[in-house]
Amino acid sequence: MRTYTNVKDLGGLKAAVKEALEIKKNRFAYKHLGENKTLLMVFFNSSLRTRLSTQKAGMNLGMNTMVLDINQGAWKLETERGVIMDGDKSEHILEAIPVMGSYCDIIGVRAFAQFENKEDDYNEKILNQFIQYSGRPVFSMEAATGHPLQAFADLITIEEYKKKARPKVVLTWAPHPKALPQAVPNSFADFMNEADVDFVITHPKGYELDPKFVRGTKVEYDQNKALEAADFVYAKNWAAYEEPNYGKILSKDRSWTVTTEKMGLTDTAYFMHCLPVRRNMIVSDDVIESPQSLVIPEAANREISAQTVLKRMLESL
């Protein structure tokens, strides 16, 4: 595996989940693969889970791991070609990327959508430059339009907890005070569309996601209706995707917050969220603290999704 940016990079999804669950049973079985190999994790944005779980996954595989926080101590990077660099940016990304590549064997990149230019975000301008210029296998640790390590961990979690062969999984928009990217819902839809689940998306009008990720999924604008008979409720906020509102907040309607009453409409569904989560905006205290909440096992599975991807990349070196 040379790149990991979307569900297709995993090949057969059933085989990938099986491999992940085997790794989970014995996470140190492949320690030899990473001997004398270095993982570089490059962060343009903050992180708790991705940083720790991916570093742990690399260590489980015997790798040396290095972390670079671009905004804390590194030179400010220019990303546009042709710019006269007489401002505050000291280094061009076109030198920085191959230099980073020269110090490591595999690179993980976190670079969120900036909501300044939809085309730049949806062309994955930063991530794709790492793929093009680093000379190394590159995986997304949440880029502008996707968070495939999260979605893979979500799928592993659903596989572990499902009580029926084809569970109903509902992705619901929920309110948030800040404009958030569409990366998590995009990747969740990307994965659920390939998984053996009955997948439904619900959100207020105006929050339609990129059709590339939604594909044939049923979109139900009535949240209560969508939640009926759900086995898994996956809550997430995102800002508007469609122009002219790209990156904007259109609603903070707290009637979309996932509460005990809302969960009562489901078939005793499990609650999921990628974290970090704003309590009593996205989800009530009661729901996130309930026995049906999977947020902690879901986060723990980030180590397993990252380890499966890193193992495959190490095997292809």
Where does this chain bind ligand CP (CB under 6 A)? Answer: 47-50, 142, 150, 274-276
> Among all chains, which residue has been given the structure tokens 């992705």?
171
Specify the residue, 250 or 275, whose C-beta has the smaller distance to ligand CP.
275
Nearest of 97, 71, 93 to residue 83 by alpha carbon: 93
Question: Closest distance between ligand CP and the C-beta of residue 69, in Å?
Answer: 13
Specify the residue, 50 or 182, whose C-beta has the smaller distance to ligand CP.
50
Specify the residue, 50 or 223, whose C-beta has the smaller distance to ligand CP.
50
Question: Closest distance between ligand CP and the C-beta of residue 300, in Å?
Answer: 12
* Angstrom distance (rounded) from CA 14 to CA 11: 9
Nearest of 185, 145, 182, 175 to residue 272 by alpha carbon: 185
Question: Closest distance between ligand CP and the C-beta of residue 299, in Å?
Answer: 7
Q: Where are the alpha helices (DSSP H) in 163-294?
A: 183-192, 211-214, 223-227, 260-263, 285-288
Specify the residue, 142 or 190, whose C-beta has the smaller distance to ligand CP.
142
Report which DSSP code applies to 26. Answer: -
Specify the residue, 188 or 213, whose C-beta has the smaller distance to ligand CP.
188
| CB within 8 Å of 240: residues ≥ 6 apart | 206, 207, 246, 247, 248, 249, 250
Question: Closest distance between ligand CP and the C-beta of residue 271, in Å?
Answer: 15
Specify the residue, 47 or 79, whose C-beta has the smaller distance to ligand CP.
47
* Residue 162 CA from chain centroid, whole number: 21
- The pair of structure tokens assigned to 207 is 């929050």
Specify the residue, 180 or 226, whose C-beta has the smaller distance to ligand CP.
180
Beta bridge partners of 172: 202, 235
Question: Closest distance between ligand CP and the C-beta of residue 220, in Å?
Answer: 25
Nearest of 229, 236, 242 to residue 258 by alpha carbon: 236
Is residue 275 within 8 A of residue 295, CB to CB? The reply is: yes
Specify the residue, 78 or 124, whose C-beta has the smaller distance to ligand CP.
124
Question: Closest distance between ligand CP and the C-beta of residue 49, in Å?
Answer: 4
Q: How far apart are the first and last CA of the chain?
A: 9
Is residue 181 within 8 A of residue 112, CB to CB? The reply is: yes
Specify the residue, 37 or 236, whose C-beta has the smaller distance to ligand CP.
236
DSSP state string for 186-217: HHHHHHHTTSSSEEEEE--TT-PPPHHHHTT-
User: Directed axis angle between helix 295-315 and helix 148-161, to 10°?
Assistant: 120
Question: Closest distance between ligand CP and the C-beta of residue 296, in Å?
Answer: 12
Chain residue whose CB lies nearest ligand CP: 50
Question: Closest distance between ligand CP and the C-beta of residue 35, in Å?
Answer: 27
Question: Closest distance between ligand CP and the C-beta of residue 96, in Å?
Answer: 22
